[in-house]
Structure 1
Amino acid sequence: MAGISPIIRSTAFLAYLILIGRLIVSAAFILAALPKIQDPAAFTTSVEGYRVVTGDLAVWIALALPWLELVAGFGLLIPQIRRGSALVIALLLIVFTVLHASAWARGLDISCGCYSVHESDKTPDYLWLIFRNLGLLTACGCVLIRDWQYPRQRSLREGASTS
């Protein structure tokens, strides 16, 4: 390690941090999807609890959203679709954060529906939910930035070595 420059070491360290962040976000979305897929009726109740959509639209969201979360979560692990998956997850996290903030502002005492679809007696901690989403969004943003910069940096290095 003595011959490796601090910049390369810090870049490698950053790459490992981004990998860990990517794995955490991936696991979070995969684990969030599974109970919703197993019990779509209960998840429909959670969706309706936010009082933004009801009826058939809530049912369609409850049926489609968990599969989107599952595919996007696994997509973060596949290099060919990682960017698209990170973008989908980032957009979902923005929507989830807005929904949590809205429910908090309106004083709704509802189940989050994030990792368990069954009603809880515990009052939701909206501040925690918002900060958790922002942390996951930050990790997702790092994945997106790295994946958009890395091919550009590699092509610049290859161009420099051929001149």
Structure 2
Amino acid sequence: MDEATFRKNKDTLAYIEENIRNYYFKKRYQRYNPSPEALNVFSSIQKSVNVIVLAARNCPICIASIPVILRLQLDVGNPNIDIRIIEESSPSLPDFLVDKKSPFIVFYDGEFNELFSLDQKDIKDNFENSLVEELRKIDSDMLGTDI
């Protein structure tokens, strides 16, 4: 992944606007109540983190999990986190995502070095907990010391 490829994809607001007509997506987004721990970890990221999310429009796991990460980003408003969503059906799907099952989420540092990824299995069980757990593992210089 490079910055040019990353920037071509939908940002958080564009993706929400496009998918809010989906009843289940909308309800999940509205009903999701982030845990204090998740809010704390998301707000503590002090260096640039770029996130690419592979999604499919009619994927039940995507509809259940993607609103979680988007809501966390918008609730926290941390300018260091940039999330972009790419649909499985996109003609500009990068090669490294072609064989992945959605949802698939990859976290990069500001230089687009991969920090970690979450696959369907990680996301399906308890997405918020998996996300918090992985974010806590990244370098302490990327996170504040209060977590």
Query: What is the TM-score with the length of structure 2 in the denominator?
Result: 0.30
Q: Give 1 or 2 for the bigger CA radius of gyration.
A: 1
Q: Which has the higher contact order (CA 8 A, sep 6+)?
A: 2
Q: As a proportion of its length, which structure holds more strand?
A: 2
